[in-house]
């Protein structure tokens, strides 16, 4: 049973990282203090099962294979504590608080959504939209297809 569970988890990680690397030109991950998280008795088992290091390793080589880039945010970058609208930084934000409320501009947003917006803004400052990536209608970063026009006329022999 343990062998089957390990194989299912390994397969799920490969499918997740492959789909992310194929769909997005730039992927941002945080350099987390995993050893510190493992010292927290409430988080230790979940963090150990998540295999953050393996996810990052697979994303690194799969983004290279697919022509994308993997950006790693600094371990001390306050992605959860910074307001994605006005850039004000909250000094303390415990993990139990799941909604981010900015005291300066009044933004109320899910903590993880706020962190994702801050990480996207961090990469936009570094990457500045150059390379094989373009933004789609939602503002999300997507790779441009390498096949060109993509219609029937593109595959017609001349």
pLDDT at position 154 over 60: no
Burial 91-111 (b: 16+ CB within 10 A, else e): eebeeeeeebebeeeebebeb
State mean pLDDT over 79-100: 91
Supply the mean pLDDT for the chain.
Answer: 83
Which tokens belong to 140? 């999300």
pLDDT band at 151 (very low <50, low <70, confident <90, very high): very low
pLDDT tens per residue, range 35-89: 888 888 888 888 888 888 899 999 999 999 999 999 999 888 999 999 999 999 9
- Report yes or no: 30 and 79 within 8 Å, Cβ to Cβ: yes
- How far does CA 156 lie from the centroid of its chain? 39
**Does this model's pTM top 0.75?**
no
pLDDT for 16 = 95
What DSSP character marks residue 90? -
pLDDT at position 136 over 70: no
State mean pLDDT over 128-137: 50
pLDDT band at 153 (very low <50, low <70, confident <90, very high): very low
Q: What is d(CA 28, CA 116) in angstroms, rounded to the nearest whole number?
A: 9
pLDDT for 33 = 83
For the chain, the C-alpha Rg in angstroms (whole number) is 19
Residue whose tokens read 């306050």:
78
Which tokens belong to 3? 């062998």
């Amino acid at each position: 049973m343990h062998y089957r569970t390990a194989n299912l988890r390994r397969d799920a990680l490969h499918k997740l990282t492959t789909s992310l690397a194929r769909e997005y030109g730039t992927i941002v991950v945080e350099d987390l203090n995993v050893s510190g998280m493992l010292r927290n008795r409430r988080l230790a088992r979940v963090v150990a099962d998540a295999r953050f290091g393996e996810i990052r390793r697979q994303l690194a080589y799969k983004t290279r294979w697919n022509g994308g880039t993997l950006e790693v945010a600094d371990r001390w970058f306050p992605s959860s504590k910074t307001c994605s609208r006005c850039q004000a930084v909250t000094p303390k934000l415990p993990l139990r608080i799941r909604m981010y409320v900015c005291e300066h501009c009044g933004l109320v947003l899910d903590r993880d959504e706020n962190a994702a917006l801050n990480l996207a803004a961090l990469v936009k400052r570094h990457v500045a939209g150059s390379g094989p990536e373009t933004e789609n209608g939602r503002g999300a970063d997507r790779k441009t297809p390498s096949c060109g026009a993509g219609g029937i006329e593109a595959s017609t022999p001349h």
